[in-house]
Structure 1
Amino acid sequence: MYSKIRFFIAFIFVFQINCLHAQKINGISFVASRDKATNEHVKPVVEVGANYAAVMPFGFIRALDNPTIVYNTDRQWYGERREGAKDYIKLLQSNGIKVMLKPQLWIWRGEYTGYLKMETEENWKALETSYEAFILDYAKLAQETGTSIFSIGTELEQFVANRPAFWESLIKKIKAVYKGKLTYASNWDEYKRVPFWDQMDYVGVDAYFPLSEMQTPSVKSVIDGWRWWKGELSAFSKLHGKKILFTEWGYRSVDFTAKEPWTSDHSVTTVNLEAQANTTKATFDALWGEDWFAGGFIWKWFIHHSRSGGSDNNRFTPQNKPAEAVIKEYYDKN
């Protein structure tokens, strides 16, 4: 009898551990605001069923060939600075939401960060010095606040490709000050070329994969569109022994949203709420049951929920749109 009880207890323990490991990272990207956040701003995050949020302070660069990163200044919005990021982290954690701290760069006029590339060795060295100060400052904040995941960069393809020795050295310095999980947010067409996944805990992907050419993608067409990419991601996960984490993912509420999901062109004026909801649902159906998939962070979630998104909004946020109900449904059961 005693041995049966022991077996039953051991079975329950293993079952609980397996359930814990199986839980996905059901995240949202908590957009930096000019305002401080309160419990009222976090309440909708809890209500949608999220268990993680990405907090995203910013550094700014004047041009694609400029090596100087300006950050943590009074000219930036509160949430873009260190003190704002710290407050956001503590507030989210106090509401049971774990955090990925994801410092990002913004290049003047919205130039793509993947093209950040210096023309001289002198400027490369200056960029390395500037980026190291920027990222180590936030790595220390991540350690100080007990942040669960730290992203060492976002979509910096040319920087990574041209300066591999710098990144190897930088990762060692980050690990000296931060003891949590690490990732890098690679672009969807970049992740295979990143050389340091063996030093990360997750393969981070900003998952704007083309999936369907339909004006209003059906759930089936998007699931079919994922088949090729799923095979590649699964094989890559197995090759490196790391789970895939979507450091960003989401779709605009526009026509053809799954054709080129990275498109953020403000000249597009159509609104297609069904397209966003269907593509979001299909992505959950296609990926959330896969063992190699860790979960991801919806792009993007504004702190003022009541006045964000809505039926006439065609941007990425799912707030106050049918896609929000889809996210809640899947987050509640995963």
Structure 2
Amino acid sequence: MTWGWTGVRGTWATEAAAESMRLMADHGVNWTALAYSALQDTAQSTEVRFREAPTVTDDEIVWAIREARSLGLKVCLKPVVNVADGTWRAHIGFFDQDVPGEPTWDEWFASYREFLLDAARIAEAEACEMLCIGCEMVRADAREAEWRALIADIRAVYSGIVTYNCDKYQEDRLTWWDAVDVITSSGYYPIDSWSEQLDRIERVVVDSGKPFFFMEAGCPSREGSPDRPNDWALPGGPSGAEQLRYYEAMFAACDERPWMRGFMLWDWPPHLYSASDADSNDDYCPYGKPAGAYLRDAYRRRAGGA
């Protein structure tokens, strides 16, 4: 399960955050992706401002790692870049060839590298099992040379598992999967398309010889969301039944694929709503909802070998 998004300074390393993580672990979770973001001003800015608020501090990140460890969880550290003006990070991009006076990919990757190496050093010092080096960077995915260079720099300071979280429908488009240890993606697929999408992903898994899991997957508890699970702003009333229907279909489809290693479900906030408010909550978190009970049972059955 993913915990902590978006990593707002002051929301980690609190009693509420500790209780939130404890309740997450109680759902049979054995891995967590500790996800936090740093901002750049626009999709064409080249400075990733990871030392500034609202990004969590290094001390807060270390607190979250150690808190997860105390609960018996394995940790994937997941630093993510976001755009301050609300543009989705998939649209971060620059000219293919440098033009004088215009921002460049080299400038952006230099700043992004500082952000990722900071995370890599923390992950190494705290013995995190995995580091995710990017999330849904669709326009940047084509910059193969830059990603390979970044991965080499990360491996010089971090000795654990390295992965990259590509966006949905992009699994068969990346050309540098061989540079990471595990293939992961955001599996926000419409409820009726799981078989088709898993067939496509299976070809990537077989060709690469790499393990695969969904670094993100899930569905809001909202009417209509099973058909558009990636749309966090889709209009519709709260519906725990719809979220449960999606979870059941997703788990059933993935259970049929022996190469599927699991999920890092989206998501669990650092400040959790009360159980009494679960019926009116229409976000991705399954706490207090039918999908939460289903998830707890499913994860515990798997842990017990059932």
TM-score when scaled to structure 2? Answer: 0.89
The percentage of aligned residue pairs carrying the same residue is 23
Cα distance per residue 1:77-123 (max 9 Å; x no partner): 5xx33221111011101210111101001112321111101247252
In the alignment, residue 288 of structure 2 is paired with which amino acid? Answer: N
Q: Return the match for 1:239 from 194, 200, 207.
A: 207
Q: What is the correspondence of 1:110-189 to structure 2 with a 5 Å cutoff?
A: 110-119=86-95, 121=98, 122-161=103-142, 163-189=143-169
Cα pair 2:172 2:201 within 8 Å, conserved: no
In the alignment, residue 299 of structure 2 is paired with which amino acid? Answer: Y
Task: Tell me the equivalent position of 1:310.
Answer: 278
Cα pair 1:68 1:130 within 8 Å, conserved: yes
Cα pair 2:120 2:154 within 8 Å, conserved: yes
In the alignment, residue 64 of structure 2 is paired with which amino acid? Answer: Y
Cα distance per residue 1:175-205 (max 9 Å; x no partner): 1111111110100122211121111121110
2:22 equivalent to 1:43: yes
Aligned length: 291
Q: Which runs of 5+ in 2 are unaligned?
A: none
In the alignment, residue 112 of structure 1 is paired with which amino acid? Answer: W
Q: CA deviation at 1:289?
A: 5.1
Cα pair 1:288 1:295 within 8 Å, conserved: no
Task: Tell me the equivalent position of 1:288.
Answer: 255
Q: Which structure's CA Rg is the greater one?
A: 1
Q: What RMSD over aligned residues (CA atoms) do the two structures have, in Å?
A: 1.8
Task: Tell me the equivalent position of 2:196.
Answer: 228
> In structure 2, what is the Cα distance between the partners aligned to 1:269 and 1:282?
20
CA distance change for structure 1 residues 30 and 328 in 2, over 3 Å: closer, same or farther?
A: farther
> In structure 1, what is the Cα distance between the partners aligned to 2:119 and 2:290?
35
TM-score when scaled to structure 1? Answer: 0.82
Cα pair 1:29 1:297 within 8 Å, conserved: no
Q: What is the DSSP-based 3-state SS (H/G/I as helix, E as strand, rest coil) of the residue aligned with 1:105?
A: strand
In the alignment, residue 3 of structure 2 is paired with which amino acid? Answer: S
Q: Which runs of 5+ in 1 are unaligned?
A: 1-26, 213-224
> In structure 1, what is the Cα distance between the partners aligned to 2:105 and 2:245?
44
Q: Return the match for 1:328 from 292, 296, 301.
A: 296
> In structure 1, what is the Cα distance between the partners aligned to 2:141 and 2:198?
25
2:251 equivalent to 1:279: no
Which moves more between the two structures, 94-103 or 280-289? 280-289
In the alignment, residue 252 of structure 1 is paired with which amino acid? Answer: P
> In structure 2, what is the Cα distance between the partners aligned to 1:157 and 1:147?
26
